[in-house]
């Protein structure tokens, strides 16, 4: 009996490590830490609620959807926007670090300059927070504004014929533009940006001028993400758009643990592609189950569970490395759908 238990633990540890290796690569690619808003356009129903922060991105009236993309035709209502403070002043203002990443394709140019993403209330420079713009010669302009002074990163390049992943990143010490695996940086010195405007996708919208619309984007957006920190070049390279296919629960979708390391409690956020019965288990390095929770039926998308750092007997767990695995019950089977390591540090009193 003792030998069987020992072998079981060894086998389990090997299995857990294999799962962890497989999961870690995918998680880093799709669900980088700090992701606070993400819009995908697989669901054409209104409103367009992001699957991270529950913020609505409003259709100006002219956006259509096809094959998991938002279609911008350049008409007078061909834009998306949000006035929600959670995507405006809460993330994109002052000295807050952020990264905005977007995957898109260009169809044509009505003018020499296209505003892909903009946060402003009018066309005045002093009423703009940030902009991510495209030019007809395939250049990207990433800029932020404070008191009518614009700070820009060097211009990156993109393709007019293929799908593109580009980003703007900001911190008080720098602004950067990312495209084609290259990041271009301008150094700043203790800079902040304006706390004004409405987040807009697809053109320049003047909200204090009866929604005047200009410098429009004509093309398709596959996915849009906002992070509450400055991503590294390696992290930007690793991001991949979420597939529009309805994959099976066997296909890993990702998990985030925050904070990690933690001392008191840790939030476990996991993503699934279809609803199902979810079980979450935490194991120590020997393979022994330390904590377990049955979450019942979880909805498609992101779900969260909090571990208070205590073991299954209610006592504080020791400070060490733990392995968390999220399982889904599917047709009588229990299938791992997400995994990751959690580090518990310090003493809990």
Looking at per-residue pLDDT, the higher value among 268 and 220 belongs to 220
Question: Quick one: 206 and 278 in the same domain?
Answer: no
Which of 247, 249, 267 minimizes the C-alpha distance to 258?
267
Residue 131: per-residue pLDDT: 92
pLDDT (average), residues 26-51:
70
Q: Are residues 227 and 292 in the same domain?
A: no
CB 85 within 8 A of CB 93: no
Check whether residue 222 and residue 258 sit in a common domain. Answer: no
Mean pLDDT of the chain: 80
> Which DSSP string corresponds to 221-281?
EEEEEEESS---HHHHHH--PPPSS---TTS---EEEESSSBSS-EEEEEEESS-EEEEEE
Q: How far apart are CA 85 and CA 198, in angstroms?
A: 9
* Owning domain of residue 99: 35-238
CA distance 245 to 182: 29
204 and 284, same domain (yes or no): no
Q: Tell me if 349 is assigned to some domain.
A: no
Domain assignment present for residue 41? The answer is yes
Q: Are 220 and 264 within one domain?
A: no
Q: Is the pLDDT score of 1 beyond 50?
A: no
Is the predicted pLDDT of residue 253 greater than 50, yes or no?
no
The CA-CA-CA angle for residues 231, 236, 241, to 5°, reads 125
Cα dihedral sign, 179-185-186-191:
positive
What is the percentage of the chain residues whose pLDDT exceeds 70? Answer: 82
Domain stop point among 218, 238, 258: 238
Question: Is residue 229 located within the same domain as residue 127?
Answer: yes
pLDDT tens-digit profile of 89-148?
999 999 999 999 999 999 988 888 889 999 988 777 778 899 999 998 899 999 999 888
- Claim to verify: residue 69 and residue 207 sit in the same structural domain: yes
Q: How confident is the model over 185-220, as pLDDT tens digits? A: 999 989 999 888 899 999 887 777 666 778 889 999
Is the pLDDT at 30 greater than 70? The verdict is no
How do residues 309-347 score in pLDDT, each as one tens digit? Answer: 999 888 999 988 888 888 888 766 778 877 777 888 874
Dist CA 274 CA 337 (whole Å): 11
Rounded to whole angstroms, the Cα distance separating 155 from 137 reads 11
pTM, two decimal places = 0.64
Distance separating alpha carbons of residues 158 and 178, to the nearest angstrom: 10
Residue 39 class from Cβ within 10 Å (0-12 exposed, 13-18 middle, 19+ buried)?
buried
278 in the same domain as 172: no
Average pLDDT over residues 220-243: 83
């Amino acid at each position: 009996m003792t030998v069987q238990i020992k072998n079981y633990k060894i086998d389990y540890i090997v299995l857990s490590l294999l799962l962890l290796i497989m999961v870690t690569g995918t998680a880093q690619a799709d669900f980088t830490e700090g992701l606070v808003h993400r819009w995908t356009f697989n669901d054409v129903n209104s409103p367009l609620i992001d699957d991270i922060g529950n913020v609505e991105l409003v259709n100006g009236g002219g956006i259509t959807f096809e094959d998991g993309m938002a279609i911008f035709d350049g008409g007078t209502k061909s834009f998306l926007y949000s006035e929600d403070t959670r995507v405006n002043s809460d993330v994109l203002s002052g000295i807050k670090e952020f990264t905005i990443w977007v995957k898109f394709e260009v169809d044509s140019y009505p003018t020499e300059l296209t505003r892909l993403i903009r946060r402003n209330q009018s066309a005045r420079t002093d009423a703009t927070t940030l902009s991510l713009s495209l030019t007809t010669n395939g250049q990207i302009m990433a800029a932020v504004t404070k008191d009518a002074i614009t700070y820009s990163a060097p211009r990156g390049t993109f393709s007019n014929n293929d799908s593109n992943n580009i980003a703007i990143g900001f911190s008080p010490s720098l602004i950067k533009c990312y495209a084609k695996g290259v990041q271009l940086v301008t150094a700043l010195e203790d800079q902040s940006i304006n706390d004004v405007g409405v987040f807009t996708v697809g053109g320049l919208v003047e909200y204090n001028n009866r929604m005047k619309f200009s410098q429009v984007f004509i093309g398709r957006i596959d996915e849009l993400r906002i992070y509450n920190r400055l991503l590294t070049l390696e992290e930007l390279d690793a991001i991949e758009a979420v597939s529009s296919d309805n994959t099976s629960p066997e296909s890993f979708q990702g998990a985030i643990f925050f904070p990690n390391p933690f001392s008191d409690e840790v939030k476990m956020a996991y993503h699934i592609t279809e609803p199902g019965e979810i079980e979450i288990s935490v194991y120590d390095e020997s393979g022994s189950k330390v904590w377990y929770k049955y979450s019942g039926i979880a909805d498609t998308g992101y779900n969260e569970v909090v571990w208070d750092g205590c073991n299954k007997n209610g006592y504080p767990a020791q400070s060490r490395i733990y392995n968390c695995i999220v399982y889904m019950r599917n047709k009588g089977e229990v299938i791992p759908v997400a995994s990751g390591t959690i580090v518990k540090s310090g003493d809990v009193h």
